[in-house]
Amino acid sequence: MEEYAREPCPWRIVDDCGGAFTMGAIGGGIFQSVKGFRNSPAGINHRLRGSMTAIKTRAPQLGGSFAVWGGLFSTIDCSLVQLRGKEDPWNSITSGAMTGAILAARNGPVAMLGSAAMGGILLALIEGAGILLTRFASSQFPTGPQFAEEPAPPMPAPSFGDYRQYQ
């Protein structure tokens, strides 16, 4: 993860959006194939066809909602970087919470609050895990790079809240 070079800021949005779409489509393909297989009537042909149908209908949808999350997330992240003039985990946490709030905006203030809390907590967990991981890695290799301040790649983060939210 240390060599994970994030794109410079404006291009990061495109990168995250596409990466999130790919991730959602692949992950959605895996999960929906199992789900479609199990929900079909008996008989291997029915099951395979049901699995295929589930993948074709649901995986692009999931990829799309991942892409929306990722794109909005890194847009806000980049805006915060510009506004505050520094890059730290708080940027990611704030932008996760704001993304959750914005995407739930049509469901009313209570849903916005819940979704924002969920996004913020998830991003905080991911950032914390990234910091712990880099600290552990750098304590393992004392001559290694001291990257404790480097925020983890926040890209995979958006996925989960979204996955639950739009199910």
Partner 1 sequence: MPVAVGPYGQAQPGCFDRVKMGFMMGFAVGMAAGAMFGTFSCLRIGMRGRELMGGVGKTMMQSGGTFGTFMSIGMGIRC
Binding of partner 1 by 1 (CB under 8 A): yes
Counting residues that bind partner 1 (by CB under 8 A) gives 29
**Contact stretch for partner 1 (CB under 8 A) within 43-51, 76-84, 103-111, 155-163:** 155-163
Residues 18-57 that bind partner 1 (CB under 8 A): 19, 22-24, 26-27, 30-31
What letter would DSSP give residue 105?
Answer: G
Query: Phi first, then psi: what are they for 7, rounded to 5°?
Result: -65, 155
Compute CA distances 48 → 26, 56, 142, whole Å: 18, 12, 52
| Structure tokens that stand for 37 in this block | 């297989």
Binding of partner 1 by 119 (CB under 8 A): no
Indicate which single residue of 86, 125, 139, 148 sits in contact with partner 1 (rule: CB under 8 A): 125
- Look at the block and give the residue holding tokens 């991942």: 66
Residues 130-149 that bind partner 1 (CB under 8 A): 130, 133, 141, 143-145
Residues 55-114 that bind partner 1 (CB under 8 A): none
CA distance 140 to 156: 25
Q: Could you tell me the maximum CA-CA distance found in the chain, to the nearest angstrom?
A: 60
| Structure tokens that stand for 49 in this block | 């066809």
Q: Which residues of this protein are in contact with partner 1, per CB under 8 A?
A: 1-4, 19, 22-24, 26-27, 30-31, 118, 121-122, 125-126, 129-130, 133, 141, 143-145, 155-156, 159-160, 163
